[in-house]
Homo-oligomer: A and B are copies of this chain.
């Protein structure tokens, strides 16, 4: 039976993680891959233990009256356990991102310089309800030679504890020390906050979840943060947009998976295009159950549209609602994105190559699209394999973060007594 410990000593856990990270440095790629495959087997074998703990979380969730969407994310099944176990097997097949010599050269004095990739060290992962992140993040961290400290959402604490117990049990039979995976078994916010400033032991924090969680980490952390993914994404339909492309892209970006960060939240549309193609657009809104929050001109031509409040321009609806902003030209469109965008994914639909190029050059975001849906900003879709999150910051990594984002470099210098 899974037990939640009432006392946690986060600093002690971080120290253990740091020690374990040192041990990971001397393991071979094969050692790490064997361990990941073994973990996958053990997680599948122990599915009943995990589901029993998950049932406890689901019960608590029902008592607290969590939404159906939330309960969905929280809920595990044998199938889902198989999915994340297969995820570990897939990660084992990706290239090891460490030990690559990125560049090497020899100075005139004979000193040999190598710039090589190495693990970051200890990753602090702070996330919300979904227990599969516990497994996904652990797999990516271990494959890239990092130790990980997991702090999942309180609502999933029993599921996460059970998963980590199984992982620890599995690691005993591998070369990876079990201390490389630390779980903060506490619902105490103070325990999390300790992580934020433990610069000596923790190399990077990765918050994954809603805007509030990410903001709390960014504002309180002295440990460097990899800021992930709030996405207020725009589709700009230019004057010379192809009608079919524009409508397909808008509908796809809005409705394919409305709850994800690369979904579109605002349609910015050139006034002339809007007036010319209003019937086709209205048909698309109606057929796809899209509720429009429009500016003055938009609500005058779109039936059932409600007036957009100021918040609508900044909102991540996470539903099939969309804001519609009418503009006079490309410059207005870019200015609107500049004001309200979250630097995640932005798209222009146009047959005018010059306007497309201006949009690609001037818009400041991780991913910028010409004539395609914003839904492709995703490690899987771009062929990165698994991703640990989508970075919306500019330092270190930007956009979908695969294994290389979990590495840093060091310069190795080999000499024969060189001095300056």
Q: Spell out A's residues near B (CB within 8 Å).
A: 22, 25-26, 105, 107, 111, 113, 120-121, 199, 203-204, 218-219, 222, 224-227, 242, 244-245, 248-249, 251-253, 256, 356, 360-362, 364-373, 375-377, 381-383, 393-396, 398-399, 408-420
Contact partner, A376, options B111, B395, B410, Cβ 8 Å: B111
Contact between B26 and A361, CB atoms less than 8 A apart: yes
- Which chain B residues lie closer than 8 Å to A409 at the CB level? 398-399
Contact partner, A371, options B226, B376, B383, B415, Cβ 8 Å: B415
Known A111-B376, A395-B396, A419-B248; contact A413-B26, beta-carbon cutoff 8 A: no
Contact between A360 and B248, CB atoms less than 8 A apart: no
Add 7 more A-B contacts to A370-B414, A372-B414, A372-B419 (CB < 8 A): A224-B395, A253-B419, A360-B412, A366-B411, A370-B413, A373-B418, A376-B420
Contact between A394 and B203, CB atoms less than 8 A apart: yes
Contact partner, A408, options B204, B225, B356, B398, Cβ 8 Å: B398
Contact between B367 and A411, CB atoms less than 8 A apart: yes
Cα distance, A365 to B412, chains bound together (Å): 10
- Which chain B residues lie closer than 8 Å to A411 at the CB level? 366-368, 377, 382, 398-399
Contact between A417 and B111, CB atoms less than 8 A apart: no
CB distance from A305 to the nearest CB of B (A): 23
The 5 closest A-B pairs by CB, nearest first: A372-B415, A252-B419, A394-B408, A245-B417, A395-B396
Known A372-B415, A395-B395, A408-B394; contact A383-B420, beta-carbon cutoff 8 A: no
Q: How many copies does the complex hold?
A: 2
Cα distance, A394 to B144, chains bound together (Å): 15
Contact between B252 and A420, CB atoms less than 8 A apart: yes
- Which chain B residues lie closer than 8 Å to A111 at the CB level? 372, 376
Known A370-B415, A413-B376; contact A396-B398, beta-carbon cutoff 8 A: no
Known A224-B395, A393-B224, A395-B226; contact A367-B107, beta-carbon cutoff 8 A: no
A408 nearest CB neighbor, chain B only: B394
Contact between A418 and B372, CB atoms less than 8 A apart: yes
CB distance from A345 to the nearest CB of B (A): 9
Contact between B376 and A256, CB atoms less than 8 A apart: no
A343 nearest CB neighbor, chain B only: B410
A225 nearest CB neighbor, chain B only: B224
A226 nearest CB neighbor, chain B only: B395
Contact partner, A415, options B226, B364, B369, B414, Cβ 8 Å: B369
Contact partner, A410, options B121, B245, B253, B367, Cβ 8 Å: B367
Cα distance, A305 to B209, chains bound together (Å): 56
Contact between A361 and B418, CB atoms less than 8 A apart: no
Cα distance, A253 to B244, chains bound together (Å): 67
- Which chain B residues lie closer than 8 Å to A121 at the CB level? 364, 394
Contact between A383 and B419, CB atoms less than 8 A apart: no
- Which chain B residues lie closer than 8 Å to A375 at the CB level? 419-420
Contact between B224 and A410, CB atoms less than 8 A apart: no
CB distance from A98 to the nearest CB of B (A): 11
Cα distance, A376 to B368, chains bound together (Å): 40
CB distance from A202 to the nearest CB of B (A): 11
Contact between B107 and A395, CB atoms less than 8 A apart: no
Contact between B420 and A382, CB atoms less than 8 A apart: no
Cα distance, A370 to B110, chains bound together (Å): 13
